[in-house]
């Protein structure tokens, strides 16, 4: 008679509990390589000993390329203005054990600057020499956004604000020259230019202030029943007076209902959209404004036959200060108009979007809820 042991051949008998399939154990090294945060391990010479996959992904560098190198030569940590942070500002050089945080930027293998949050865990000897350190590196998305906004604001300030300031300064200095005797016509012309440029500056500054008030929701609406086709006739008549190269066509169904809205704010949205349609259709053509009615909302579409917007930019043009490189570069503007439009439409309970085809034109549509008692 064969025993149980013989049936199983040489397999030793294992207690039942142990026969259940065991999950692989999580070792410290696995935790490091699985971590979603970049992890950098440094030895006493600031040389890289650990460089986990998340950090490889973030930096575009491989572990093999960097292990053994000094960390400052690999990550090139700077502040958001590009000033190096690897010397005195780096906690690794402070001779102190403990945990420290830094907001910074690193440069990837492809030369891209990435904003990061750095969390240092540092061990130093009693004499202050570095023994070892672990640095957690995490991409800082909010910081990134803030730095995008900051660079857009800087670009705006440097171009849109500098130009009028330079003109005002030049004309004022010319007029103030003690050795010149300007004719009345010249004086009037230069003063006229100074006035025009001061108006431009003042418009820009109020736009900036207005945007920040809208973002802080500190604008109140003066709501009333609004006849949109009439309002649109008014806006287009005003804009058509200063534009002779485009045709503006308005079409609304006869039964178009009234909406509850603030006329001044809707005027602003329409003005922005129609001005853009004219501005970004350098070849002329027609600008159309159409009204449509769906279940509980009205839709207004401003269409043009202009330069259009690349698909990759469509999502971003409603962002603060955003301007499409090709279309916006030589056209005056602030990149605030569409952002303001979106804020204004949203406070009315509506939505705004764009359909566009580069080289063929764009269609901006916004919705407003139909007045309840209509």
Q: Where do contacts with ligand ADP occur on this chain (CB under 6 A)? A: 272, 276-277, 280, 304, 306-309, 317, 322-324, 327-328, 333-339, 362
Nearer to ligand ADP, 5 or 360 (CB): 360
Nearer to ligand ADP, 137 or 336 (CB): 336
**194 and 169 Cβ atoms separated by less than 8 Å:** no
CB 349 to ligand ADP: min, Å: 21
The pair of structure tokens assigned to 293 is 């009615």
Q: Residue 116: beta bridge partners? A: 104, 139
CB 325 to ligand ADP: min, Å: 8
10 Å Cβ neighbour count for 207? 15
Nearer to ligand ADP, 120 or 318 (CB): 318
CA 115 to chain centre: 14
Residue nearest to ligand ADP (CB): 333
CB 225 to ligand ADP: min, Å: 28
CB 296 to ligand ADP: min, Å: 27
Nearer to ligand ADP, 72 or 200 (CB): 200
Tell me the C-alpha to C-alpha distance, in Å, between residue 193 and each of 60, 135, 169, 373.
52, 57, 11, 51
Q: Residue 301: beta bridge partners? A: 290, 365
Q: What angle do CA 233, 344, 373 make, to 5 degrees?
A: 70
> 364 CB contacts (<8 Å, ≥6 apart)?
273, 276, 277, 301, 302, 303, 352, 353, 354
**50 and 38 Cβ atoms separated by less than 8 Å:** no
DSSP structural state of residue 160: I
Nearer to ligand ADP, 51 or 280 (CB): 280
CB 35 to ligand ADP: min, Å: 40
Nearer to ligand ADP, 75 or 239 (CB): 239
CB 327 to ligand ADP: min, Å: 4
């Amino acid at each position: 008679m064969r025993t149980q042991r013989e049936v199983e051949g040489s397999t030793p008998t294992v207690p039942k509990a142990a026969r259940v399939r065991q999950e692989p154990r999580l070792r410290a090294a696995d935790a490091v390589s699985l971590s979603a945060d970049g992890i950098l391990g440094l030895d006493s010479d600031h040389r890289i000993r650990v460089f986990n996959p998340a950090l490889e992904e973030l930096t575009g560098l491989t572990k093999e390329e960097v292990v053994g190198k000094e960390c400052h030569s690999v990550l090139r940590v700077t502040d958001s203005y590009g000033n190096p942070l690897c010397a005195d500002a780096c906690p690794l050089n402070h001779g102190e054990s403990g945990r420290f945080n830094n907001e910074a930027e690193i440069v990837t293998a492809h030369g891209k600057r990435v904003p990061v949050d750095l969390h240092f865990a540092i061990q130093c000897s009693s004499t202050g020499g570095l023994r070892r350190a672990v640095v957690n590196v995490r991409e800082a998305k909010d910081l990134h956004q803030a730095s995008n906004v900051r660079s857009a604001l800087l670009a705006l300030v440097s171009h849109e604000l500098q130009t009028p300031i330079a003109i005002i300064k030049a004309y004022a200095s010319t007029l103030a020259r003690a050795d010149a005797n300007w004719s009345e016509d010249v004086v009037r012309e230069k003063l006229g230019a100074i006035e025009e440029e001061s108006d431009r500056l003042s418009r820009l500054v109020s736009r900036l202030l207005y945007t920040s008030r809208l973002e802080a929701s500190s604008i109140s609406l003066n709501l009333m029943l609004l006849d949109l086709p009439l309002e649109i006739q008014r806006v287009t008549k005003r804009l058509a007076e200063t534009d002779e190269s485009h045709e503006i066509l308005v079409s609304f169904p006869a039964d178009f209902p009234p909406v509850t809205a603030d006329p001044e704010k809707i005027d602003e949205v329409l003005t922005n959209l129609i001005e853009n349609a004219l501005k970004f259709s350098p070849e002329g053509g027609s600008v159309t404004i159409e009204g449509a009615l769906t279940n509980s909302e009205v839709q207004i579409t401003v269409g043009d036959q202009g330069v259009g917007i690349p698909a990759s930019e469509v999502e971003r043009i409603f962002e603060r200060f955003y301007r499409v490189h090709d279309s916006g570069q030589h056209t005056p503007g602030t990149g605030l108009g569409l952002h303001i439009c979106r804020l204004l439409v949203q406070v009315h309970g509506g939505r705004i979007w764009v359909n566009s085809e580069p080289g063929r034109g764009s269609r901006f549509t916004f919705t407003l809820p139909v007045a309840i008692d209509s």
